[in-house]
Structure 1
Amino acid sequence: MGPTTINDLPAHVLLVHIVVVFVPLAALLLVCSAVWPAARRRLGIITPVVALVALISVPLTTSAGSWLIRRVQMDPLVRAHAHLGDGLLPWAGGLFLLTAVVWALHHYRDRLARLRWLPVTTIVIAVLSVAVSVGSVVEVYRIGDSGAQAAWHDNFSANPVSTNHK
C-alpha cells in the first residue's frame, strides 16, 4: 500500500512517528474544538486536516508494519504489537469523523441555529469527542509500548558494554 523502506530502513519505524504525533495532536485539537468555542473559531479547518493526516498515516504505518513483520523473528511480543496496531484505524477514523462534524456544526451554525436539537447534539458530540480522543491516545500509548517491548527486549545490556565513547 505504501512505502516499505525509506533510505534503506524499514518504513514502519519511521512512519510510526507520524502516527505518534498526529493522532494525539488530533485528539487534543478535537477536544479543544468540541468544548471550547474560542478554540473552535481559531482552529477552524486545521483540526479536521490534522485528523485526516492522522487517519491516512495509520494504514500506511500498519501496511509497512505488515511488510516488516514478515522480515523479523516472530515472537509473542511482535504478535501482540501487530494485533494492537490493527485496532488503531477505527479510533483514527472516529477522530476524523468527529473533527469533521464539529467543524461542520460550527461552519454552518447560522443555518443550523433554528434547529431545536442543536444544543443537545453539541453536548453529545462533545462527550463523544472526549471519549474518542482519550481512547485513541490510550491506544497509541499501548501500541507504542508494545512496539518498544517487541523491539528492545533482550537487545541491550543494563551495564555499559564499553567505556571508550568518543
Structure 2
Amino acid sequence: MPDTIWGLPVHPLIVHLVVFLVPLTVLAALAVALWPKARRPGAPWVLGLATIALITIPMATDSGEHLEEQVPRSSLVEEHAELGDTLLPLVATLWVALAVIVAIGFHVRRKTERPPNWTKAVTLVAVVIAVGAAVVSGVQVVRIGHSGAKAVWSDVGKGQGD
C-alpha cells in the first residue's frame, strides 16, 4: 500500500473509512442482535458490513505505522498507536458473534420442523457477545479517534496570544 495518495498521507484517508464503518456496523449489529424480527433478513447484510469494517482496520493500523515513522515521537502519538491496536480483536469478536447468528439463522431456515433447543441457547450467547463487542467497539473507536485528534491538533493555537 502506498504511504501517500496525491501527496497526502494515506492514513487519515483510510481512518475515515474505519470511523464511518465501525460505528455503522455497531449500530446495525445492535439492531439485529436486539430485534429478532430484523435478525433473519438483516444479519447477513450486517455480517457483510462487519467484514468490510474488519478489512479496513489492518489497513488503517498499517498505514498508521508508516506515518508514525515519519512524524516526531510523542506520548500522544504512542497512545494513539497503542489504542489503535486494540480495535481489530474487538471487531473480530463482533464479526464471529454475527457469523454465529447468521449460521444459526440459515440452519433454522433450512429445517422445516421445529428448530433444535440448542439453537436458542447458542443464539442467546451470540447475541450477548455481539451486544458486548458492539458496545466496546463503538466506545473504543471513539477513544482511538479522540487520541488521534489530540495527537494531530494538540499544538494548534498554542503560542498565538497566550
Give the TM-score normalised by structure 1: 0.88
Partner of 2:125: 124
> Residues of 1 paired with 2:159 and 2:102: CA distance?
49
Partner of 1:151: 152
- Shift of residue 111, structure 1, vs aligned partner: 4.5
Partner of 1:164: none
Show structure 1 runs of 5+ residues with no match.
161-166
Is the 1:29–1:47 Cα contact (8 Å) retained in structure 2?
Answer: yes
Give the TM-score normalised by structure 2: 0.90
Partner of 1:138: 139
Is the 2:91–2:134 Cα contact (8 Å) retained in structure 1?
Answer: no
How many residue pairs get aligned? The number is 159
- Shift of residue 136, structure 1, vs aligned partner: 0.4
Is the 1:102–1:125 Cα contact (8 Å) retained in structure 2?
Answer: yes
One-letter identity of the residue aligned with 2:4: T
Is the 1:26–1:95 Cα contact (8 Å) retained in structure 2?
Answer: no
Is the 1:51–1:96 Cα contact (8 Å) retained in structure 2?
Answer: yes
Question: What aligned pairs does 1:54-93 form with structure 2 within 5 A after superposition?
Answer: 54-93=53-92
Larger proportion of helix: 2
**What RMSD in Å do the two structures reach over aligned CA positions?**
1.9
> Residues of 2 paired with 1:157 and 1:62: CA distance?
29
Partner of 2:10: 11
**Which deviates the most, 25-34 or 135-144?**
25-34
**Which deviates the most, 15-24 or 34-43?**
34-43
One-letter identity of the residue aligned with 2:139: V
**Which deviates the most, 148-157 or 12-21?**
148-157
Show structure 2 runs of 5+ residues with no match.
none
One-letter identity of the residue aligned with 2:85: D
Is the 1:65–1:82 Cα contact (8 Å) retained in structure 2?
Answer: yes
- Shift of residue 158, structure 1, vs aligned partner: 9.4
